[in-house]
Structure 1
Amino acid sequence: MYEYIKNPALIHEGPPRSATSMLSKPRVPLILVHDGGGTSFSYHLLDRINRPLYGIENAKLHDGGWWDGGVPEMAAHYVSLLGKILPEGGDILLGGWSMGGLLSLEMAHQIALAAREAKSRETGESSESSGTSTPKTPIFRVLGMIFIDSIFPLRLAELVGPLPEEPIILSGEHSRTMKLKDKVDLNMTHARMMVRFWQVPRWRWRDEAVPVPPTILMRAKEFVNRNPADDQSFVDYTRDLRLLGWDDYDEEHGHFIRDLWEVNGHHFSIFDHKYLDDVTKKVRKAADKLDPPEF
């Protein structure tokens, strides 16, 4: 079992104080969640985006990446990690590449419901005047999300091919001798298994509709396989759809996808060196649109 000291990891600090002193409010941090492979490596390749940037990797990356409770359990753990970097809670932006967008959606849903539960408890406590005080869990608000080529998952199970019936949990000895690339491949397999059974959140609290944070969807311009004779990659099965399959879900939830931007490359090459300037610029632009700087 590995112990993670820096998760979330600070990738870039915000702008220097001389620059932030000109702003009426500080820029909120952007937290990018790992893709199916479990690492946050790609986000470390990004240049500065004029706000704090954090990356979350799979906390069970070196154990094989499997969570018995699937996507909701992963998201709940990652929400709990946010208190390490923001112990007082506050406003944040969430996002991620591929599965990272799905995890962001689940995290944002859990954060929104937790905030309503906390408000409900405070109202009840104030009316009862219990006089007791308990430590408060940090309360967050997601101002917006950035999906980086995150495809809608409901038909994914039909396209990824056969998957193992049981997860493979790595022992400590096996993990220590296993190459990172092989761990990433195993994490990817487990990610597909967990996404297959994930129930996409329906945004309601009690009888009340809960708004989904405004979201910017970035879609890769190219198909993974350029040759029409090649088998289509599962990440391209919604490539011909404008919102990568999110269309009905988006409409059902108030058209929360506010903008659609294209990024260079195909799904697996977005963070290649030749495209880094493009994706960095668009991540920065998306974050500033969701959390505009105020002078």
Structure 2
Amino acid sequence: MLLDNPILIQPGPAAATPLFLLHDGGGTIFNYFMLGDLDRPVYGIQDPKFGTADQWEGGMEEMARLYISFIRSAVPQGPILLGGWSLGGLTALEIARILAGAANGLRVRGLILIDSPLPEEWANHRDRFVNADVSVTETTSAKTKQAVDWRMDECDRLLDGWRAPRWQQTDQARAEPTPLRHQRAHGPLQHHMRRRALPPPELPLPGSPPPAVLLRATERVPVPAGSKPGSLVDVDLDRDSTLLGWDRLEYPLLHAVYDIPGHHFDIFEGHDRLDAITELLGRVSREMDV
């Protein structure tokens, strides 16, 4: 297991905004090493507690603040892009929240959520959820499988106590929400956000969130044989929604959604799927890097 944070996954032109990819719920960044050239510096941050059952006593905020220190060790100031698969996308959003409320030299230019659903409704559907043993391959050692299982358990605990950050909106933003771009294989479609009231946050953040893009897997994770009707894996609770549940927020977080092939746990498997993710990450990063 790599011990340093952050890990330089891809070197790139100094003029390009660096992209930091945060680990998934299993704590690893292995899949990011399989991506093609993104033409910019790409760093990975893995869970420093990997290999243990240790908890983040301070929740997602404690984890995010530590990861900010990792980011600063590589890029002390200037613009950055943040993203990640699953939990990684949510961690990127938490980091953006902390940086938005601090006087510092780091500026989040954009967020890329790689199939990161909004988990705030999951606690109300626990009776429907089943576990899918898809986090490791057949050749994975028992020791590594145990390490991944520990981090996945901690991921569930973190998400149970996490609420997505809320930003204040200007009167103009409320009156004129940004249309959402939804990209499918046959070209762009226009959608508008559906919003409903949620309990107000204690400390809403001023201004607007960084531009965020969602890469959305189109298929459902197969459930184990013998599961009761209506069972699903938690990440698929809002799979039929274009926004994977993010339309529950009071403000339009997502600027675009791109459908990608596969289900939540196999989107990095196979050359075609890796090529699709690489192409989208490259395109979105370039659009944000202006």
**TM-score interval for Structure 1 and Structure 2 normalised by the shorter chain:** 0.7 to 0.9
Equivalent-residue separation in structure 2 for 1:247 and 1:113 (angstroms): 24
Please, which moves more after superposition, 187-196 or 203-212? 203-212
1:183 maps to 2:155 = no
Please state whether the residue corresponding to 2:24 is helix, strand or coil: coil
Equivalent-residue separation in structure 1 for 2:30 and 2:71 (angstroms): 19
| CA displacement at 1:83 relative to structure 2 | 1.4
- The answer to whether the Cα contact below 8 Å between 2:86 and 2:116 also exists between their aligned partners in 1 is yes
- Describe the shift of the 1:208–1:105 C-alpha distance in structure 2 as closer, same or farther (beyond 3 A): closer
Equivalent-residue separation in structure 1 for 2:166 and 2:68 (angstroms): 18
1:211 matched residue in structure 2: 208
The count of residues paired between Structure 1 and Structure 2 equals: 242
Please, which moves more after superposition, 35-44 or 206-215? 206-215
- Describe the shift of the 1:161–1:27 C-alpha distance in structure 2 as closer, same or farther (beyond 3 A): farther
1:154 maps to 2:120 = yes
Structure 2: runs of 5+ lacking an equivalent: 130-140, 169-201
- Describe the shift of the 1:193–1:208 C-alpha distance in structure 2 as closer, same or farther (beyond 3 A): closer
Please state whether the residue corresponding to 2:111 is helix, strand or coil: strand
Structure possessing the higher relative contact order (Cα contacts under 8 Å, 6 or more residues apart): 1
Q: What letter corresponds to residue 139 of structure 1 in structure 2?
A: G
The sequence identity of aligned pairs, in percent, is 39
2:20 matched residue in structure 1: 31
Structure showing greater Rg: 1
* Residues 151-192 of structure 1: per-residue CA shift (max 9 Å, x gap): 0010122345699xxxxxxxxxxxxx9711211111001111
| CA displacement at 1:65 relative to structure 2 | 5.1
- The answer to whether the Cα contact below 8 Å between 2:166 and 2:205 also exists between their aligned partners in 1 is no
1:241 matched residue in structure 2: 241
The CA RMSD over aligned residues, in Å, is 2.6
- Describe the shift of the 1:113–1:193 C-alpha distance in structure 2 as closer, same or farther (beyond 3 A): same
Equivalent-residue separation in structure 1 for 2:222 and 2:205 (angstroms): 44
- The answer to whether the Cα contact below 8 Å between 2:166 and 2:204 also exists between their aligned partners in 1 is no
Structure 1: runs of 5+ lacking an equivalent: 21-25, 119-137, 164-176
Task: Please give the TM-score of this superposition, normalised by the length of structure 2.
Answer: 0.77
- Describe the shift of the 1:222–1:197 C-alpha distance in structure 2 as closer, same or farther (beyond 3 A): same
- Describe the shift of the 1:244–1:182 C-alpha distance in structure 2 as closer, same or farther (beyond 3 A): same
Q: How does 1:1-295 map to 2 (within 5 A)?
A: 6-15=4-13, 26-64=15-53, 66-87=55-76, 89-114=77-102, 118=103, 139-160=105-126, 179-203=143-167, 209-225=206-222, 231-249=231-249, 252-253=250-251, 255-274=252-271, 275-292=273-290
Q: What letter corresponds to residue 238 of structure 2 in structure 1?
A: T
| CA displacement at 1:70 relative to structure 2 | 0.9
Larger proportion of helix? 1
Equivalent-residue separation in structure 1 for 2:203 and 2:144 (angstroms): 44
Q: What letter corresponds to residue 277 of structure 2 in structure 1?
A: V
Equivalent-residue separation in structure 1 for 2:31 and 2:215 (angstroms): 16
| CA displacement at 1:206 relative to structure 2 | 7.2
- Describe the shift of the 1:261–1:208 C-alpha distance in structure 2 as closer, same or farther (beyond 3 A): closer
- Describe the shift of the 1:162–1:184 C-alpha distance in structure 2 as closer, same or farther (beyond 3 A): farther
Q: What letter corresponds to residue 272 of structure 1 in structure 2?
A: E
Task: Please give the TM-score of this superposition, normalised by the length of structure 1.
Answer: 0.75
